[in-house]
Structure 1
Amino acid sequence: MASILDKLPAETAALLDYQCHTFPKEQLHQPGSDFLDRCFVPGNRTPQVLRSLGQLYHHGRLAGTGYLSILPVDQGIEHTAGASFGPNPMYFDPENIIRLAVEGGCNAVATTFGTFGTVARRYAHKIPFLVKINHNELLTYPNKYDQILFGSVEEAWNLGATAVGATIYFGSEESGRQIQEVSAAFERAHELGMATVLWCYLRNNAFKTADKDFHVAADLTGQANHLGVTIGADIIKQKLPENNGGFSALKFGKTHPAMYEQLSTENPIDLTRYQVANCYMGRIGLINSGGESLGAGDRDAAIRTAIINKRAGGQGLISGRKAFQRPFAEGVDLLHAIQDVYLDKRITLA
């Protein structure tokens, strides 16, 4: 049987031998079969929340490993349905979203109230539901960028949700309101026994300069992660970092030379480990997003992202467009390729 490590692009293969000298791996709360016992049982999560977290971590091909593979499909609202499903129109029928997650061996499927509302009774017992409770919609003209609630936590619970998910646009004018709304929603979700997942995204035109996009800077995304775990997220979703020095370049916030000279380098594993460190040194799991679909190179790109996340100390990938914007069988294969990275014991923490 061919290994996931066969015929890797040279740049990706080089990541397998890299050794991290910023945060030592021994300081991290590493993923593993006993992760919930080590990192959640001593805390304030109730038995009902622990049960929900157990359902997430013990489902699919990665069950019992401490790693997560989640299929997220909320782009029909966030990016318009036509743009999202045009490459593969079968996904205008939301049942196919759930089918892809089930056949793809995912730990959970993350999607909208509308999708779950059409198929909840058929699939609630077959795969954990992660209900996305807020969205940015693009039908307002001119476009605005604001995450607003599309339903209640109670509605998600009635749909059979194991977890609720939400996005905060940290850095935006509306971020204060979003922090308050999501904090309250997560508190209610925990009261009802559901787990919580936060999309810790940045949104501010000033974060993008003529030559660099600091929306994916390790220092800014790391701080967003730190805010996210503080308000009660059980799992953090973040974009893979591509650069660093956002605070310094944009001349705001507070920094320390160690952030850039000792605690990170330009290597993508080190940049991502800085994100992990800001998730309470891995006590709260970091899952990186898979990014947009660019076509033929998607499988290699997804494997590369998974290797970076795993070797940095992250807990998995939440990858959607690379899977559902291609034929069904190819989508299943791509999800399995991601999972194979986390199942391969030769790929270890850097």
Structure 2
Amino acid sequence: MIDKIQEYLGDEADALLSHECKTISKDRLHLPGGDFVDRIFAQTDRNQRVLNNLNWILNTGRLAGTGYVSILPVDQGIEHSAGASFAKNPDYFDSENIIKLAIEGGCNAVASTYGVLGSCSRKYAHKIPFIVKVNHNQLMSYPNHPDQIMFGSVDQAFDMGAAAIGATIYFGSQEANRQIIEVAEAFYRAHELGMATILWCYTRNDAFKKDGVDYHVSADLTGQANHLGVTIEADIIKQKLPENNGGYKALNMGSSSYGKIDERVYTELTSENPIDLTRYQIANCYMGRQPLINSGGASGANDFGDAVKTAVINKRAGGAGLISGRKAFQRPIDEGAKLLRTIQDVYLCKDVTIA
């Protein structure tokens, strides 16, 4: 298995697989494992039904019992428009094929909209954990105004038989305060009913792009978004893989004053290595008490290699898995399932260790 992973990584194999983290040591982290619910979540205020659903998610699919998760998320029909998302493979206009792909691909869970999951819930809600995405950026208003609005109630997800709900907050946006309040209330209700909670912790502000650099994916800004996310009791944090650092510093150049940061974030707690940058994201999730899953990103020319690289970075940093959608569903179901299983192989491979 390690030979195939090295092949996918190509020239980056040695650097990624042999990197030794000298910023935040792995012994400070709460790492994934088969006992994660008993070791970590059982000590929290989550009720028994939430623990049951977390156990169900962690004990489904090819990664069952490892503490790692592979989740198929398909909410792009709303977030990116159905035409843009499904034109490459029109089979996925049919909601059932989304659920079939998650099962065929050996996933721990499938995350999608009320409509997708509700349309097939009686057939599948007892076979694979459902994660109902409760808010979306609907993208039909003109001109576009990026905002996450609620598409249904938490009780509706519960009645569907969902194991968890998911939500997005655009941290840094003008709508962030309202979104934080709405999602915090939704997460409280979900926990009350026994469902787990997953937060898409995205940064969003035009000012985060400066001098040709996109700091929406900087380790310092995404790390703080994660810390806000665990504050409202998200059980799992979904975040984009960091691609740079220094967002706070870039935004504070000149006379403006934005947020607060300590220089040691850049000199001691991170380096330029993507594994160390991702570990800083995990540190902001209470050192991994709330697991971090990274997104798989858009489909491109080298999907299998890119997916393996993301998985290796996440795992070696101490993360808990990937949530990968477009790379999988924008291709025939057998190829999409193969890609999902290729991601899972990274987490099953004992030769890919924590840095």
Shorter chain as denominator, the TM-score bin is over 0.9
Superimposed CA distance per residue, residues 81-100 of structure 1 (whole angstroms, 9 cap, x where no aligned partner): 00000111100001000000
Q: Which residue of 2 aligns with 1:257?
A: 263
Deviation at 1:3, TM superposition (A): 4.4
Provide the rounded CA distance (Å) in 2 between the counterparts of 1:117 and 1:63.
25
Q: Cα offset for 1:43?
A: 1.1
Number of residue-to-residue matches in the alignment: 349
Gaps of 5+ in 2: 253-257
Pair 1:176-2:181 in alignment: no
In angstroms, what is the RMSD of aligned CA positions?
0.9
Distance in 1 of aligned mates of 2:6 and 2:289: 32
1:268 partnered with 2:274:
yes
1:281 equivalenced with 2:287 (yes/no): yes
| Partner deviation per Cα, 1:135-170 (whole Å, 9 max, x = no partner) | 001111111100000000000001110000000000
Q: What's the counterpart of residue 160 of structure 1?
A: 161
User: What SS is found at the alignment partner of 1:168?
Assistant: strand
Summarize deviations over 1:41-87 as a string: whole Å, max 9, x none: 11111101000100110100000100000000000000000000011
Q: Amino acid of the residue matched to residue 338 of structure 1?
A: I
Tell me the equivalent position of 1:62. 63
Distance between the aligned counterparts of 2:291 and 2:2, measured in 1? 30
Query: Which residue matches 2:119?
Result: 118
- Following superposition, the deviation at residue 2 of structure 1 comes to 8.2
AA at the equivalent of 1:157: F
Question: 2:71·2:323 contact (CA, 8 Å) conserved in 1?
Answer: yes
Structure 1: state its 5+ residue gaps: none
1:109-157 per-residue CA deviation (whole Å, 9 max, x = no partner) reads: 0000000111000001110000000000111111110000000000000
CA distance in structure 1 between the aligned counterparts of 2:33 and 2:187, rounded to whole angstroms: 25
Match of 1:312 in 2: 317
Matching of residues 46-125 of structure 1 within 5 Å: 46-125=47-126
- The 8 Å contact of residues 207 and 214 in structure 1, kept in 2 or not, is answered as yes
Q: How does 1:13-32 map to 2 (within 5 A)?
A: 13-32=14-33
1:9 match: secondary structure: helix
Distance of 1:231 and 1:2 partners within structure 2: 38
Specify the alignment match of 1:151 in structure 2. Answer: 152
Separation in structure 2 between the aligned mates of residue 76 and residue 42 of structure 1, nearest angstrom = 38
> How far apart are the structure 1 equivalents of 2:4 and 2:217?
27
Q: How far apart in 1 are the matches of 2:299 and 2:277?
A: 23
2:144 and 2:270 mapped to 1: Cα distance? 36
Report SS of the residue matched to 1:221: helix
Q: Structure 2 matches for 1:186-225, cutoff 5 A?
A: 186-225=187-226
C-alpha distance in 1 between matches for 2:13 and 2:155: 44
Q: Is the 8 A contact 1:4 1:340 kept in 2?
A: no
2:330 aligned to 299, 315, 325, which one?
A: 325
Does structure 1 retain, via aligned residues, the 8 Å contact 2:6–2:13? no
How far off its partner does 1:210 sit?
2.8
Spell out, residue by residue over 1:8-34, the C-alpha distance to the aligned partner (whole angstroms, 9 max, x if none): 311144200000000000110011111
Superposition misfits of 4+ residues, deviation over 4 angstroms: none
Secondary structure of the corresponding residue to residue 72 of structure 2: strand
1:338 aligns with 2:338: no
Structure 2 vs 1, CA of residues 242 and 6 (structure 1 numbering), >3 Å: closer, same or farther? closer
CA contact (8 A) 1:237 1:286 kept: yes
Q: Percent identity?
A: 65
Q: What does residue 235 of structure 1 align with?
A: 236
SS in 1 for 2:161: coil
